[in-house]
Amino acid sequence: MPSSPSKRAESVAPFLAMEVMERAFALEREGAHVIHLEIGEPDFPAPPAAVEACERSLADEPARYTDSRGLPELRAAIAAERGRRNGVSLDPERVLVTAGTSPALLLAFTYLLDPGDEVVLGTPHYACYPNLIRAVGGVPVLVPTDADEGYRLRPERVRAALSPRTRAVLVASPANPTGAIQARADLEALVGLGLPLVSDEIYDGLVYDGARVSSALELGDDVFVLDGFSKRYAMTGFRLGYLVAPASAARTLRSLAQNLFISVASFAQRAGIAALAHGDATVAELRSAYALRREVLARGLGELGFRVPTLPRGAFYVFADARRFGADSRALASRILEHAHVAVTPGVDFGAAGEGWLRFSCTAPEPELREALARIAPVLR
Whether pTM > 0.75 for this model: the answer is yes
Task: Choose one of 223, 246, 278: the last residue of a domain.
Answer: 278
- Decide if 368 is inside a domain: yes
- Angle 95-197-161 (CA atoms, 0-180°, nearest 5)? 160
Asked whether 307 and 357 are in contact (CB, 8 A), the reply is no
Residues 26 and 172 in one domain: no
How do residues 123-140 score in pLDDT, each as one tens digit? 999 999 999 999 999 999
Residues 294 and 232 in one domain: no
% of residues, the chain, pLDDT over 90: 92
At 85, which CATH number?
Answer: 3.40.640.10
Residues 208 and 64 in one domain: yes
Q: In what order do the strands lie in the sheet with 345-346?
A: 317-321, 357-361, 345-346
> Which residue range is the domain that position 62 belongs to?
48-278
Residues in the chain: 381
How far from the centroid of its chain's Cα atoms is residue 157's Cα? 23
- For residue 156, which amino acid is it? E
At 295, which CATH number?
Answer: 3.90.1150.10
- Decide if 1 is inside a domain: no
Confidence of residue 1 (pLDDT cuts 50, 70, 90): confident
Residues 292 and 254 in one domain: no
C-alpha to C-alpha distance for 79 and 242, rounded to whole angstroms:
11
Task: Choose one of 247, 278, 309: the last residue of a domain.
Answer: 278
Residues 37 and 115 in one domain: no
- Decide if 79 is inside a domain: yes
Runs of H (alpha helix) within 212-341: 250-260, 266-278, 280-304, 329-340
Q: Looking at residue 10, what is its pLDDT? A: 85
Residues 41 and 64 in one domain: no
Residues 61 and 201 in one domain: yes
Residues 300 and 182 in one domain: no
Residues 161 and 222 in one domain: yes
The total of other beta-carbon atoms located within 10 Å of residue 58's CB is: 14
Asked whether 125 and 136 are in contact (CB, 8 A), the reply is no
Residues 171 and 52 in one domain: yes
Tally the domains of the chain. Answer: 2
- Decide if 114 is inside a domain: yes
% of residues, the chain, pLDDT over 70: 100
Residues 121 and 72 in one domain: yes
Confidence of residue 220 (pLDDT cuts 50, 70, 90): confident
C-alpha to C-alpha distance for 364 and 36, rounded to whole angstroms:
7
Residues 102 and 245 in one domain: yes
How do residues 175-184 score in pLDDT, each as one tens digit? 999 999 999 9
Q: Looking at residue 12, what is its pLDDT? A: 83
Asked whether 318 and 362 are in contact (CB, 8 A), the reply is yes
